Structures are given as C-alpha cells and as structure tokens.
Amino acid sequence: MMKGTFIIISILCSALLSATALAQDPGGEGVIDAKADRVLKEMSEYLTNLEQFNIQAESSFDMILDNGQKIQMGRSVDVSVRRPDRLRVDIDGDMVKQRLFYDGKQITLYGKKVNYYATTKAPSTIEAAMDYAEKSFRLVTPAADLIDRNSYGILTEDISSGSYIGLSTLSGVECHHLAFRAEETDWQIWIENSKTPLPRKFIITSKWTTGAPQFIAMLNTWDLSPELEDSRFIFTAPEEAEKIDFLTSEN
C-alpha cells in the first residue's frame, strides 16, 4: 500500500471514530433518545395514514460461507399496498424470483423460476394476513415492519437503546439518521426530513451471527397516489404452472 493512501485511510478512520463517539447516546444502554423516538413515531404515524402506496426498493443481504467468506446477494422489490385488504410484492433477486398476491381473501405465492404456486385462505386485513402467513408458513413479507399499521410498536418492541445520529443526504434527499440496538440485532434507519417522513434506507446487522451479516434496503421510489386496480392483486396462474401446498411452520 502506498504511504499517501495509508495516510488518507487513517484520516478517514479517525474522522469516523470521532463522529461515532459524538453520536453515541450519553445515557448508554437502556436509553432511547427523545428525538430519535419522535422521528420514528412521526414516520410510523405518517405511513399508517396512507391508504395506498407503492414502493420500489433495492436490497441486499450477506451470506456467510462455510469458509467464512462474506458474499453479498441482491434483489429488487416492488411493493403495492391498498388498505385495508390488498397487497402485492414482486421480488427479482439473485436467488429468488417470486410474486406474492393478497386479495383480501387469500394469499398466493408464485415462484417464477420454478413455475410453482401455492394458495391459502387468509384473514381479511393486510396486518392479519401477514401475521397468519408468518406464523403458519414462516412467510415473511418484505417491508412488513413498515407496511403494518402498528409499525412503531413492531420496530420498538425489542429496543434496548436508540440514538439520533444526525442529518445526512441520500440521493439528494435530506434524512434523519437513527440507530437502535435490540437483543439480536443492531439496526439503522434514514427517514426523510420533510412533511412526508418516508423511510429511505434501512440496515439490519445480525450482531451475534459469525461475520455480522447485514441486510440493507434502499427505498428509492415512493408513489403515494398510484393507480392500483383490483386486477393487480389477483393471481392468474401462468401456463403450465403447477399448484403445490404451503409447507407449514411445523415442517
């Protein structure tokens, strides 16, 4: 490594350490900074009052190989929500290409690569349907913590401490940067500093897993007045698609 490069890296590391020290909550563990709590609550209340929206996001997650090497996998996610009883999620990723449909009566999951689909009856609201799918089939909806009307309660359920880091800019949008600690994970969220406090970035770190793998989501595009017809949430089986059963959580 060239000496000049080493000096630049040292300066950057020192600056990062200094910024981290300044950002730490003086109360330490067990304390949630009042500003961080307020910003998170404002975001949750704003999302709760949205009757319909569409999110286009890019996310990545780390895989830890047996030899300890960390590999990052990516996916694009398109989420359409029309409350109280319509949800669709399109996932196109390195490992998975799936479509999830919820029409107020049933949930259907379609695997595009394998051309299989499974359908099950579901409760009559998005929140109840997502809860049912997770408990019965371990089916977790992307961005579920943000879609649920009780997003604040879900996000803060296991929090042991929270900090307000400061303002930062993501793709030209000024955001509040918040950091929280929970029993199994550390997580950060960037929330737009405006009259529309939308989440713009999310990072979850599994701190007790070897290699501390991370999940990162960039919530790039929000449409708060999309045209969401009923047909968008209804699954029509493609030609030669095979119907299978969901595996229950007991399997």
Residue-wise pLDDT tens digits, 186-243:
999 999 999 999 999 999 999 999 999 999 999 989 999 999 999 999 999 999 999 9
| Sequence ranges of the domains in the chain | 29-243
pLDDT band of residue 14 (cuts 50, 70, 90) is very low
Q: For the chain, give the percent of residues with pLDDT over 90.
A: 84
Q: Which residue has the tokens 């590999």?
A: 71
Instruction: List, as one string, the DSSP characters of 41-77.
Output: HHHHHHHHT-SEEEEEEEEEEEEE-TTS-EEEEEEEE
Res 248: pLDDT: 80
Q: Which residue has the higher pLDDT, 31 or 166?
A: 166
Q: What is the rounded CA–CA span in Å between residue 41 and residue 68?
A: 38
Alpha carbon of residue 84 to chain centroid: 20
- pTM for this predicted structure: 0.86
Residue-wise pLDDT tens digits, 73-97:
999 999 999 999 999 999 999 989 9
CATH H-level superfamily of 29-243: Lipoprotein localisation LolA/LolB/LppX (2.50.20.10)
Q: For the chain, give the percent of residues with pLDDT over 70.
A: 87
Q: Are 179 and 190 in contact (CB under 8 A)?
A: no
- Pinpoint the alpha helices (H) of the chain: 3-23, 34-48, 126-137, 144-147, 151-156
Nearest alpha carbon to residue 101 among 113, 91, 89:
89
Q: Are 246 and 137 in contact (CB under 8 A)?
A: yes
120 pLDDT more than 90: yes
The mean per-residue pLDDT over the stretch 138-166 comes to 95
State both tokens at 127.
Answer: 């929140």
* CA distance to 109, 151, 153, 218, 243, per residue, from 146 (Å): 20, 5, 11, 13, 30
Q: Are 201 and 175 in contact (CB under 8 A)?
A: yes
Burial tier of 154 (Cβ tally within 10 Å: 0-12, 13-18, 19+): middle
Res 17: pLDDT: 41
26 pLDDT more than 60: no
The mean per-residue pLDDT over the stretch 143-166 comes to 95
44 pLDDT more than 90: yes
Instruction: List, as one string, the DSSP characters of 143-159.
Output: THHHHSTTHHHHHHTTE
24 pLDDT more than 70: no
53 pLDDT more than 80: yes
